[in-house]
């Protein structure tokens, strides 16, 4: 009992000492600038087949489904300003996704997607936005949280909606992204 009391006292003393320790010269307290809001609408193009496929299954899970539990896909997809692949290229969508639901109902297949949007053009050139979350791949509209970012999108948080514009497993699939980002 006495030992516990002594330990508690020591802990309190340590905390008090930390509180009165003067700030070091290299410790500068700064106020953050004001938070900004950016809304982006962009298009991601997935090519599932061919020698230049941009979204590829790298691990086949234990099911025999085309997309299922344990499957892992890696992506390096072009992002364009407009719906056509031939419109202005503004960056790459790079990341991976893994099947995480055992539900035998194929339409309920869930993936865990972690992806970076890396911008290579315009005012966001060099900046990135990181998204990660539960991907209900067969829903017409999907929502994914924005977890962070770099450059212009430092300390980003937000939300995003993803809609399939056209789906073609032997050709190209186009997805529209509607991204709402709060950042500094
Ligand atoms: C499909 O996408 C690939 C890679 O992005 C591209 O090279 C190819 O031209 C596209 N095909 C069509 C039919 O748009
Ligand atoms: C694949 O990409 C390379 C390099 O960009 C290109 O030279 C080649 O024509 C492409 N092949 C096809 C089938 O699109
Ligand atoms: C998957 O397919 C292979 C070959 O067709 C078969 O041997 C295996 O039993 C199948 N596995 C399941 C889980 O259906
Ligand atoms: C984007 O940034 C890279 C690296 O800083 C630079 O090399 C490139 O020229 C820039 N592109 C445009 C279109 O500004
Ligand atoms: C899917 O893509 C292939 C290859 O580009 C094309 O031949 C086919 O017509 C496309 N299918 C649809 C439904 O657009």
**Stated pTM of the model:** 0.82
CA of 46 to the centre of ligand 1 (A): 8
Ligand 2 atom nearest to CA at 50: 13
Q: Distance between CA atoms of 20 and 32, rounded to whole angstroms?
A: 24
- Of all protein residues, the one whose alpha carbon is nearest to atom 13 of ligand 5 is 168
| 49 and 63 Cβ atoms separated by less than 8 Å | no
Burial (0-12, 13-18, 19+ Cβ within 10 Å), 140: exposed
What's the confidence (pLDDT) of residue 19? Answer: 55
Mean pLDDT on 107-126: 95
- How many Å lie between the centroid of ligand 5 and the Cα of residue 73? 21
Of the listed ranges 13-22, 47-56, 126-135, 166-175, the one predicted with least confidence: 13-22
């Amino acid at each position: 009992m006495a030992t516990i009391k002594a330990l508690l006292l020591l802990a309190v003393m340590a905390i008090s000492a930390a509180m009165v320790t003067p700030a070091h010269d290299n410790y500068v307290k700064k106020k953050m600038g004001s938070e900004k809001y950016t809304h982006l609408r962009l298009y991601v193009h997935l090519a599932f087949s061919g020698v230049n496929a941009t979204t590829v299954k790298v691990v086949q899970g234990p099911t025999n489904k085309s997309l299922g539990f344990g499957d892992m896909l890696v992506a390096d997809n072009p992002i364009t300003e407009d719906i056509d692949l031939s419109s202005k290229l503004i960056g790459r969508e790079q990341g991976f996704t893994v099947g995480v639901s055992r539900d035998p109902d194929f339409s309920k297949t869930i993936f865990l997607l972690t992806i970076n949007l890396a911008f290579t053009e315009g005012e966001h050139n060099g900046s990135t936005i990181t998204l990660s979350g539960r991907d209900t791949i067969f829903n017409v509209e999907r929502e994914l949280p924005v977890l962070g970012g770099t450059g212009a999108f430092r300390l980003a948080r937000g939300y995003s909606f993803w809609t399939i514009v056209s789906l073609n497993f032997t050709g190209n699939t186009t997805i529209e992204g509607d991204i709402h980002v709060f950042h500094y």
